[in-house]
Amino acid sequence: MIIMEIAAEHIKRFKLALRAESLRLTSQRLAVMEDILASGGHRECDDIFLSLREKRIPVSRATIYRTLDILEQVGFVRKLDIGDGRFRYENKLAQSHHDHFICLECGRIIEFVDRGIERRQERLSKEHDFRLIRHVHQLFGICRACQMKKAKRGNGSPEA
Ligand SMILES: [Zn+2]
Ligand SMILES: [Zn+2]
């Protein structure tokens, strides 16, 4: 099932990356690629597994993980470790660079962009003669909804 048109050039790069790992471009792997590149947000392997199952495309979790790793390698997908042992994946092709606030209570991920932080990181790297390739910026805390829930329960101030 074709959900979206994936650029031929992207399929070609995906194919080459698979070949480098001695893997073939199967219809299952292509379905994983289509699913993640047609979506937004920060999804778990299981979300993709269920989405494919709904479309009646049986793909094992192991294949999904492996495929997502390859997609991360070629830079189509961003892999997030938010510290709860379950990786989140996001479509990188459809989005510009951003960083994340991560709620320790409910796992919610909020995106932000701060040009000042970006520029400062670049300047610092230059000062240290460091060629910056990428960065991961994750701020952990409690989201507004969880703060309100806590306040309602009576232990008002969010503990550090
Ligand atoms: Zn929360
Ligand atoms: Zn994001």
Instruction: Dump pLDDT digits (tens) for 30-76.
Output: 999 999 999 889 999 999 999 999 999 999 999 999 999 999 999 99
- Domain boundary (71, 93, 115) is at 93
What is residue 95's predicted lDDT score, i.e. its pLDDT? 81
β-strand pairing of 99-103 with 88-91 = unpaired
In a shared domain, residues 64 and 125? no
Long-range contacts of residues 80-87, Cβ cutoff 8 Å, at least 24 apart: 80/42, 80/109, 80/136, 80/138, 82/107, 82/109, 82/138, 83/140, 86/44, 86/45, 87/44, 87/45
In a shared domain, residues 159 and 113? yes
CB 67 within 8 A of CB 23: no
Q: Which residue has the tokens 């003669």?
A: 129
In a shared domain, residues 53 and 100? no
Domain of 140: which CATH number?
3.30.1490.190
In a shared domain, residues 107 and 60? no
Q: How far is CA 33 from the centre of its chain?
A: 13
CB 46 within 8 A of CB 65: no
What is the whole-number distance in angstroms between the Cα of residue 54 and the centre of ligand 1? 28
**Element spanning 139, H or E:** strand 138-141
What is residue 154's predicted lDDT score, i.e. its pLDDT? 76
- Domain boundary (56, 72, 93) is at 93
What is the whole-number distance in angstroms between the Cα of residue 3 and the centre of ligand 2? 22
What is the whole-number distance in angstroms between the Cα of residue 135 and the centre of ligand 2? 13
Domain of 8: which CATH number?
1.10.10.10
What is residue 6's predicted lDDT score, i.e. its pLDDT? 79
Q: Which residue has the tokens 């994936």?
A: 6
**What is the domain count for the chain?**
2
Residues of the chain with pLDDT under 50: 1-3, 160
Domain interval for residue 105: 96-160
What is residue 2's predicted lDDT score, i.e. its pLDDT? 44
In a shared domain, residues 121 and 61? no
Give CA–CA dist 103/82, Å, rounded: 9
Q: What percent of the chain has pLDDT over 70?
A: 93
Q: Smallest Cα–Cα separation from 25: which of 17, 76, 61?
A: 17
What is the whole-number distance in angstroms between the Cα of residue 153 and the centre of ligand 2? 30
Whether the model pTM is above 0.75: yes
Task: Name the residues around ion ligand 2, CB cutoff 5 A.
Answer: 90, 111
